[in-house]
Structure 1
């Protein structure tokens, strides 16, 4: 990957957190990354600690985290600017236009309180029939979809 970035002067790279972690761990001072200007992180949460370490080591590369689900719409939320991403580490940005999202209690389906646990559901103009009142949920009893 590093050779391809250098050879083709890649400036924008979609990546998952384990790739970003390996860049931090093994690429200190690596000139092969000099063409990179932006990395978008998807597929899993990117911790504040890893975000901070990446930004310290590669200050010329914008790092933005996003959230989405391939099985529904792709991107749901993303940071539109590097300044916004830096101001909110550990977050996946703002909802894109036309999206609504809420956290609901997995037992009752009602809105969860700030102290409660729940699952993220979302709705958008083009999702068609996706459940009650068109709210789309990926909850299946597995903990990956639980927010607390």
Structure 2
């Protein structure tokens, strides 16, 4: 088996990304949503971590003016705890910085302390709460920001 590599997401990756979406989220994005993001949204940047053609995880963000807003990050449940989430976050930060963007934000479930700890490791700090942000169960979201280089 080859080494995992990070690269830009393509339309051909969407079917595997949808599998991950459905495994990870109670309200998964649709094929149409990912297709639009990858093919039409000039603000969107999506990356995947893949090994021998098998997508292990992915992440996406919108780059608007001087900010990057992380839209989603997910790793296949069977492959968590192996550093693939780290690879996704590192690649997204690097992609934003390559375009001169050093401020990043995201929302994460209040109960998802594993993800919060991952983001904190890369300089994201909790800055607020969005009450009842998640439509599946009205859970609050923690707003996290990474500012500066």
Q: TM-score, normalised on structure 2?
A: 0.30
State which structure, 1 or 2, has the greater radius of gyration over its C-alpha atoms. Answer: 1
The TM-score, its normalising length taken from structure 1, stands at 0.30
Higher relative contact order (CA 8 A, sep 6+): 2
